[in-house]
């Protein structure tokens, strides 16, 4: 009856091997792991000798060895086969989903705000373009007119009502101005006698012709058109209308245009040029297009009311 398998341990690398029977005990065999030769001995005997460590007092201390897998050998025990220690499988760490640092409701709220802002801008632009930049709620009431006397001219101007229509006056000699403002409505009158065009037009000033286009004031008025047009976009002007006033001969023209660069507003107005023998007065009155029918007759009354001032 054959012997039972016998376990042996390599004294060099401590690998455990299993022999088919005890016939190989006491024989020299080669370790299949470290390839070193050793005399086969039962695993317990090798462990008692190879695993003991002497202390200074002579008492042996057993060393703990890591568990080894048993290796099997052939009939002679010379070609034992060992297996490598099992490697621990690394656990795959689940990928954590990166959470956004900005809450989704906040992102949606910002997007909605931007959309509303853009939509509001578009609506505002449409209202301004169609209505001239003012609604019925912000419409300026027709002002009461009262005499305003300046150094070189006087005229019927909007009467001051608190801060509305408060005159802003300034300028140097022969270039005095006065500005009356209420909301988007503006009236500006200026002594323009210091201009080069005024000086060169002194010859024939005040002379009247059947053909009104031959009068000096007509050419002076047309020459000042370019200066006014530079202040507006899409500028258009009606032909000059001749008139006389206490100051002298005059021309006025109704015009239209746009103000603003991004949100353009449509405006309407009247510009006028008035001359006597020594001086030239210019006026410009503007309002939103939506209030043109209200302010046109007021502007016409203002420009035709110009008269001499304190130094006349």
Q: Which residues pair with 281 in a beta bridge?
A: 191, 274
Dihedral (CA of 292, 298, 299, 300) sign: positive
DSSP state of 311: T
Residues 154 and 60 both lie in one domain: no
Residues 276 and 188 both lie in one domain: yes
The predicted pLDDT at position 184 comes to: 95
Non-local (6+) Cβ contacts of 175 within 8 A are 190, 191, 192, 193, 194
Tokens of 18: 């299993």
- By CB neighbour count within 10 A (0-12 exposed, 13-18 middle, 19+ buried), where does 107 fall? exposed
**1: in domain:** no
Enumerate long-range contacts of 138-145, CB under 8 Å, 24 or more apart: 138/183, 139/290, 139/291, 139/294, 140/182, 140/183, 140/184, 140/185, 140/287, 140/291, 142/294, 142/295, 142/298, 143/182, 143/298, 145/298, 145/301, 145/302, 145/305
Residues 63 and 171 both lie in one domain: no
The predicted pLDDT at position 51 comes to: 42
Rounded to an integer, what distance in angstroms lies between the CA atom of residue 79 and that of residue 24? Answer: 12
Which of 62-71, 126-135, 291-300 reaches the highest mean pLDDT? 291-300
Tokens of 223: 């020459």
Q: Residues 132-143: pLDDT tens digits?
A: 444 444 789 999
**89: in domain:** no
Q: Is the overall model pTM greater than 0.75, yes or no?
A: no
Predicted confidence band at 96 (pLDDT cuts at 50, 70, 90)?
low
Q: Residues 72-81: pLDDT tens digits?
A: 444 444 444 4
Percentage of the chain exceeding pLDDT 90: 45
Q: Residues 16-74: pLDDT tens digits?
A: 888 888 888 888 888 888 888 888 888 766 444 444 433 344 444 444 454 444 444 44
Q: Which residues pair with 243 in a beta bridge?
A: 250
Q: Which of 201, 171, 172, 173 is nearest to 188 (CA)?
A: 171
Predicted confidence band at 173 (pLDDT cuts at 50, 70, 90)?
confident
**Statement: residue 14 has pLDDT above 90:** no
Q: Is 270 helix (H, G, I), strand (E, B) or coil?
A: strand
In the listed set 72, 98, 125, which residue is the last one of a domain according to the structure? 72
Q: Is 233:244 a contact under the CB 8 Å cutoff?
A: no
Rounded to an integer, what distance in angstroms lies between the CA atom of residue 130 and that of residue 142? Answer: 21
Q: Residues 217-238: pLDDT tens digits?
A: 999 999 999 999 999 999 999 9
**149: in domain:** yes
**114: in domain:** no
Which of 1-5, 129-133, 243-247, 276-280 has the lowest average pLDDT?
A: 129-133
**26: in domain:** yes
Q: Is 153:191 a contact under the CB 8 Å cutoff?
A: yes
Residues 158 and 300 both lie in one domain: yes
The predicted pLDDT at position 199 comes to: 53
Residues 297 and 156 both lie in one domain: yes
Predicted confidence band at 206 (pLDDT cuts at 50, 70, 90)?
confident
Residue 139: HSE in the Cβ half-sphere, 13 Å Cα cutoff: 13
Q: Is 94:46 a contact under the CB 8 Å cutoff?
A: no
**180: in domain:** yes
Average pLDDT, the chain: 79
Query: In which domain, by residue range, is 58 found?
Result: 6-72
**Region 94-117 average pLDDT:** 74
Q: What is the CATH number of the domain that holds 194?
A: 3.40.1000.10
The predicted pLDDT at position 37 comes to: 87
Tokens of 121: 């801008």
């Amino acid at each position: 009856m054959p012997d039972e398998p016998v376990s042996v341990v390599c004294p060099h690398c401590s690998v455990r091997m299993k022999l088919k029977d005890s016939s190989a005990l006491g024989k020299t065999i080669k370790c299949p792991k470290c390839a070193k030769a050793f005399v086969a001995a039962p695993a317990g005997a090798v462990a008692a000798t190879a695993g003991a460590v002497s202390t200074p007092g002579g008492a042996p201390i057993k060393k703990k060895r890591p568990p080894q897998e048993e290796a099997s050998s052939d009939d002679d025990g010379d070609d034992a086969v060992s297996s490598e220690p099992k490697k621990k499988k690394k656990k795959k760490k689940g990928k954590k989903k990166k959470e956004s640092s900005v809450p989704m409701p906040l992102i949606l709220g910002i997007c909605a705000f931007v959309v509303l802002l853009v939509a509001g801008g578009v609506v505002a632009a449409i209202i301004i373009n169609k209505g001239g930049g003012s609604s019925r709620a912000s419409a300026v009431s027709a002002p009461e007119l009262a005499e305003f006397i300046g150094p070189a001219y006087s005229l019927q101007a909007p009467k001051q009502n608190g801060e509305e229509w408060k005159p802003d006056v300034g300028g140097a000699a022969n270039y005095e101005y006065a500005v009356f403002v209420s909301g988007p409505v503006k009236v500006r009158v200026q002594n323009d006698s210091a201009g080069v065009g005024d000086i060169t037009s002194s010859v024939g000033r005040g002379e009247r012709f059947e053909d009104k286009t031959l009068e000096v004031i007509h050419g002076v008025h047309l020459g000042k058109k370019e200066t006014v047009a530079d202040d507006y976009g899409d500028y258009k002007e009606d032909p000059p209308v001749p008139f006389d006033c206490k100051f002298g001969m005059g021309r006025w023209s109704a015009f239209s245009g746009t103000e603003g660069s991004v949100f353009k507003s449509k405006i309407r107005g009247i510009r006028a040029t008035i001359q006597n023998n020594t001086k030239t007065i210019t006026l410009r009155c503007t309002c939103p297009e939506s209030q043109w029918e209200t302010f046109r007759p007021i502007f016409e009354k203002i420009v035709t009311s110009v008269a001499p001032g304190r130094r006349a």
